[in-house]
Structure 1
Amino acid sequence: MSKKYVVQKTPFRVPAPEGKLIEEHFGNVSDGNTHISIARMIAPPGWSEPFQTPTFDEYTYIIKGRKQFNIEGEIIILGAGESIKIEKNTRIQYSNPFKEECEYLSVCLPAFSPESVNREKF
């Protein structure tokens, strides 16, 4: 009889620039799942990414600290206990311009992949 659950004790650490930690628990990179990705992330103070226009919906839940979202020119700042859904095909830039690190969970539907994020050059 096969088990109807999977326990993840060793998430895949995705190499990331500028000191950002990405631990993918389920998803394209960790287990080949293309339907959903779930990752814990820590963005250090001063971190930012280039603009991107992903072809997936992304849900973000802030665990601690603050995170800044530049969504098609509108700046939104979320803190611990707050969350946001960014719809696919939305131009966005993520950053942490604050003095403390930001820890958050990210859920992408379908799963994140380097090809589907469509990052712009800095």
Structure 2
Amino acid sequence: MKKYKIQKTPFVVPTDDGKLIEEHFGNASIKSEISVAHMVAPPYWSEPFQTPNFDEYTYIIKGKKQFNIEGELIVLEAGQSIKINKGARIQYSNPFETECEYLAICLPAFSIDLVNRE
């Protein structure tokens, strides 16, 4: 048995808000204790507030992304990253004119049961 797994066809999570979510590892693709997803948020996109029961790491590849963490607004640009601890109340958005491409890693793996959206 090989001691590695290559992901050639990530699971594309269906969305109705124009956001692209390609999960490479996690609960919807190759089962893993963490989730690794490539995402593209369109201009003027936003999600409802949530209080996840997982740590989330985000790395911005292109564009900008806004984070409202416990009422503090933070904007990250390409090449920057952030770790948000589980239990933080957060809202993710892209209130800008260009799309934002980024990687998101969740530990434990993302699950709708753990995200606690408002």
Alignment of 1:2-41 (within 5 A): 2-33=1-32, 35-41=33-39
Q: 1:101 maps to which residue?
A: 99
Normalised TM-score (structure 2) = 0.98
Query: How far apart in 1 are the matches of 2:110 and 2:83?
Result: 14
Q: 2:58 maps to which residue?
A: 60
C-alpha deviations, 1:30-56, integer Å up to 9, x for none? 1232x1000000000000000000000
Q: 2:67 maps to which residue?
A: 69
Q: Which runs of 5+ in 2 are unaligned?
A: none
RMSD: 0.6
What amino acid sits opposite 1:65 in the alignment?
G
What amino acid sits opposite 2:20 in the alignment?
L
C-alpha deviations, 1:89-114, integer Å up to 9, x for none? 00000000000000000000000001
Q: Which runs of 4+ in 1 moved over 4 A?
A: none
Query: How far apart in 1 are the matches of 2:46 and 2:22?
Result: 18
Which stretch of the first structure deviates more once superposed, 79-88 or 13-22? 13-22
Secondary structure at the residue paired with 2:29? Answer: helix
Query: How far apart in 1 are the matches of 2:74 and 2:27?
Result: 28
C-alpha deviations, 1:46-73, integer Å up to 9, x for none? 0000000000000000000000000010
Which stretch of the first structure deviates more once superposed, 24-33 or 50-59? 24-33
Percent of pairs with identical residues: 73
Query: How far apart in 2 are the matches of 1:9 and 1:74?
Result: 38
Query: How far apart in 2 are the matches of 1:71 and 1:95?
Result: 11
Alignment of 1:68-87 (within 5 A): 68-87=66-85
* Structure number having the greater helix percentage: 1
Query: How far apart in 1 are the matches of 2:10 and 2:35?
Result: 12
